[in-house]
Amino acid sequence: MANAKLNPILQSVRGKVGDLIFSTRYGGVFISRKPEKGKQILTAAQQAVRDRFRQAALYGKAAMANAQVRALYEAQAKKRKHPIFSVMIENFLRPPSIEEIDMSTYTGQSGSTIGVRASDDFDVMSVGVALFDSSNAPIENGAAVQSGTDAGRWVYTLTTSIPIGTHIRVEVTATDRPGHKTTRVENI
């Protein structure tokens, strides 16, 4: 790459001038040709990313049109000091996570509980819990309730007694505002 000392007028130019692109990186001014459009063939992975961003933009537009949802995002955008639409896109692109399935209060008896720690960059809308026996037959399922004292903690209360020694699979699903689901499984 050749180094050239630019005229002071050109040092302050940024953006497109004719077919040239002026940009500043690493403390220097870089000049490149305008990229040619239309000749690029996208891989399946690149197309998938573009489609996902297109879906995120559509979600953002729908959220902007809903006054209640927009108000929630506006408050978060103000708090983060980010544009509202970027907060919406970020929320769409990041699914919720399930950090923990807490079986410490599970006894197998009706009324015992299973704790779940779930989070999202914006908010978790719901957490569902399903229990299956060793042959994958459903035992019970239902919605966990958000703990009043801890926003990230959810509690599921069993409605069925399960005999001691029964091997079960616990399947927890967290859903965020855009409707994305994350599932975590634990065998006990």
pLDDT surpassing 80 at residue 67: yes
3-state secondary structure of 159: coil
Longest Cα–Cα distance of the chain, Å, equals 83
Report pLDDT for 172. Answer: 97
pLDDT tens digits, residue range 111-140?
Answer: 999 999 999 988 899 999 999 998 999 999
Q: Dig out the tokens for 69 from the structure.
A: 């949802």
Q: Which of 132, 128, 130 lies closest to 143, judged by CA?
A: 128
Report pLDDT for 23. Answer: 79
Report pLDDT for 21. Answer: 83
Domain segments of the chain as ranges = 44-93, 97-187
Q: In terms of CATH architecture, what is 97-187?
A: Sandwich (2.60)
Percent of the chain at pLDDT above 70? 91
- pTM of the entire structure? 0.75
Rg (CA), the chain: 25
**Burial letters for 31-68: b for 16+ Cβ neighbours within 10 Å, e otherwise?**
eeeeeeeeeeeeeeeeeeeeeeeeebeebbeebeeeee
pLDDT tens digits, residue range 70-90?
Answer: 999 999 999 989 999 999 999
- pLDDT-derived band at 30 (thresholds 50, 70, 90) equals confident
Report pLDDT for 126. Answer: 96
pLDDT surpassing 90 at residue 165: no
Which run of H or E residues covers position 73? helix 67-80
Count CB neighbours of 127 within 10 A: 23
User: Considering the chain, what is the average pLDDT of its residues?
Assistant: 89
Highest mean pLDDT among 15-19, 139-143, 163-167: 139-143
